[in-house]
Amino acid sequence: MKEFVEVIFRSERNGFFINSKNLEIAPDTSVIVKVERGEDIGRVLNCSVIDEELEEKFQQNEINKILRIATEEDLKQLENVERKEKEAEEKFIEMLKKQPFEMKLLDTIYQLDGNKLTFFFSADGRIDFRDFVRELATEFKTRIELHQSSGREDARRLGGLGICGKTYCCVSFLRKFNQVTIQMAKDQNLLSNLSKISGPCGRLLCCLHYEEDFYLEKLEDFPAIDDVIIYKNKKMFVGKNDYYNNRINLISEDNERIILTLDEFNKIKDKTKDEKTHS
């Protein structure tokens, strides 16, 4: 199976490429890669990625090549590109003033060879910017892409500290956003206060995804919320599961609350089953 190289671009997008020339590369090496519309520069994240899905894409000629390690000439060209980006940013803002909608320009990125220019922006809701794209293409005489940034992408681009006190995961190591759902919060007993489990991006915290496997494994051993047992001749409902301490919070119809260990709960439940079987 082939080994693929993961490369991250200046736009924070990443992709996988094949090192067909067996270049001596390492993480953080600047490389020139073949992209859809020419060449671009990126930085190596991982040098030897093995993945069946990538292998399949390679067989279908959907994986491009690393062309070379970036040279001094490439880096000088990058400096020129960065100057052009500042000029393009200023021109974009001027042209935007004539548009009937509002958007906030976040970043301007030229492909290294100038064959594509991407403007990253944020806006409230969706915007029909098709006419604006045509005006931009006429002005800059290259392929234009307008990319509406999500809250998560904004957080990655701007950076900051999470409630844990550490740099955002998406800034430090997380390269691909995983889907985080309300069901994960429910599995982890965290639905009572959604604001506390939402990040600065306004979305549910990515760490809910990291811990989901642990909770799913625990769920197999614990009762479901609202399950009923008879404890000291009183009907008790499961109100909350404490997965870390192996405890179960029970509540009665008259609001009496008790806490049992998982073992205690299972013994009572087994005893109840036995009594029903013999009755």
Phi and psi torsions of 25, nearest 5°: -120, 160
The residues of the chain that CATH labels 3.30.300 are: 76-149
Residues in the chain where the model's pLDDT stays below 70: 1, 175, 272-279
What is the per-residue pLDDT across 68-93, written as a single tens digit (0 to 9) for each?
A: 999 999 999 999 999 999 999 999 99
CA atoms of 263 and 218, how far apart (whole Å):
14
Helices (H), the chain: 52-59, 72-96, 130-140, 151-158, 169-172, 182-187, 207-219, 262-278
Q: Which residues contact 67 (CB under 8 A, 6 or more apart)?
A: 31, 32, 33, 34, 39
Instruction: Give CATH for domain 76-149.
Output: 3.30.300
pLDDT at 274: 59
At residue 74, the pLDDT reads 97
Residue 279 has a pLDDT of 55
Nearest to 146 by CA among 91, 202, 106: 106
Q: In what order do the strands lie in the sheet with 234-242?
A: 228-231, 234-242, 247-252, 257-261
Q: What pTM, to 2 d.p., does this model score?
A: 0.66
Tokens 């090496």 sit on residue: 29
- Given this model, what pLDDT does residue 33 score? 96
Cβ–Cβ < 8 Å for 106, 81: no
In this structure, what token pair is assigned to residue 197? 């489990």
- Amino acid present at 127: I
Reference 163, options 207, 124, 131, 100; nearest CA is 207
Q: What is the pLDDT of residues 181-196, one digit of tens each?
A: 888 888 887 877 777 8
The neighbouring-strand residues paired with 194 are none
